[in-house]
Amino acid sequence: MPAIVVLGAQWGDEGKGKATDLLGERVDYVVRYQGGNNAGHTVVIGDQKFALHLLPSGILSPNTTSVIGNGVVIDPGVLFTEIDALNARGVDTSNLVISSNAHLITNYHVTLDKVTERFLGKSKIGTTGRGIGPTYGDKVARVGIRVQDLFDEKILRAKVEGALLNKNQVLVKVFNRRAVEVDAVVEELLGFADRLQPFVQDTVLLLNNALDAGKTVLLEGGQGTLLDVDHGTYPFVTSSNPTAGGACTGSGIGPTKISRVIGILKAYTTRVGSGPFPTELLDDDGEKLRQIGGERGVTTGRPRRCGWFDAPIARYATRVNGLTDFFLTKLDVLTGWEEIPVCVAYEIDGKRVEELPSSQTDFHHAKPIYEMVPGWKEDISGAKSLSDLPKTAQNYVKFLEEISGAPISAIGVGQDRNATIVVRDLIN
């Protein structure tokens, strides 16, 4: 049976939670493979809305095992706050499994994230201040704290002492902050050990055994392709790899076991934080998209920057991830426009450029070249098939499919988990 990757094909916030929740009813495992509580998925079930940050979307499917993989960084306080909130609403979280190799966010990571961003001033990256970047930095520098370290106090203390040798120098001498005490950090982390331990397993073994036994595994990314630290709009990116390659390293599932890669694509474009955004709208249309689409970050509450659909970005996502399918979300938000602009290429230094430029400078100066597509005014939230959509809405979907490089296999036409048109089966 297959491993299926679901990831964002733009700058994140595309509606991955809706897609993974829809598929979660039909899979055995849902795995979060990167990111931390800087990401957020919103899932709407009936009249209830669930905002998930660290937990995989499969947590809302009672017959699914949810896995936080080794590629995720975990703030244990945030994790248990989220678990407690779901339990209070009647959601069973006992099927959660956490990798022993996942790295932990400590209070000094959060402090460093915030003071560094503040220090950068106008040059700030636009982080969420949750400590994600510093934690991944420690992971790469080999001074990180892993989940398994909580179960050996001697190792934990040695690692915290080693990490703080450098960090306290920076906090005190560069940022004029108080030094962090080793004992305080160790005590706080040990306070989570007993509650965390029942969830912890060797998830690489678990997932590969599941695939060998014929189970279906869904791998979900936390952010979008353009926020990938290697393939995104660097330096305005996250600190991990949301792209399909990150699904392998962040879960321990080899690439030969992945049969499908589904890119989640919003019917327009948004991004949160700093960085270039060629189709960004700073006018009434941008505000209208923001209001109708409810475009605020799930985790931070920050208003998202809004713009028209960007085809070069979609084609880039197809190429980088090897996408087999697109799941188009929020088509209903575009209802009411007589004409909808679609960016089909860029103008850079007076020349037409069809693909995403590799140069940061060129992308910063890219101006969108639009084609106008007729819009629709009919309510499409009740559509169950492609033929239920107005002809102009059907044509919009077909046009996006033609210029994006992969088939659109599902279409979101409303917030509810059932407000989805399935054009092609996304699993079989």
CB-based burial of residue 29 (10 Å sphere; 0-12 exposed, 13-18 middle, 19+ buried)? buried
41 among known catalytic residues: yes
Among the listed residues 13, 28, 75, 228, the single catalytic one is: 13
The one-letter amino acid code at 363 reads F
DSSP state of 225: G
Residue 256: other Cβ atoms inside 10 A: 8
3-state secondary structure 270-293: EECCCCCCCCECCCHHHHHHHHHH
Tokens of 359: 């140069």
Catalytic residue among 21, 41, 109, 325: 41
Nearest Cα neighbor of 332 from 404, 298, 286, 383 is 383
Cis peptide before 374 (omega within 30 of 0): no
Tokens at 167, concatenated: 């960090």
Is residue 55 packed enough to be buried (19+ CB in 10 Å), middle (13-18) or exposed (0-12)? buried
Spacing of C-alpha 32 from chain mean position: 9
d(CA 150, CA 204): 19
DSSP secondary structure, 291-314, as one string? HHHT-B-TTT-PBPEEE-EEHHHH
Give the position of tokens 């920076």.
170
Q: How many C-beta atoms surround the C-beta of residue 363 within 10 A?
A: 19
- 325 among known catalytic residues: no
* Distance from C-alpha of 199 to C-alpha of 212, rounded to nearest angstrom: 22
Q: Quickly count: other Cβ atoms within 10 Å of residue 339's Cβ.
A: 10
Point out the residues that are catalytic.
13, 41
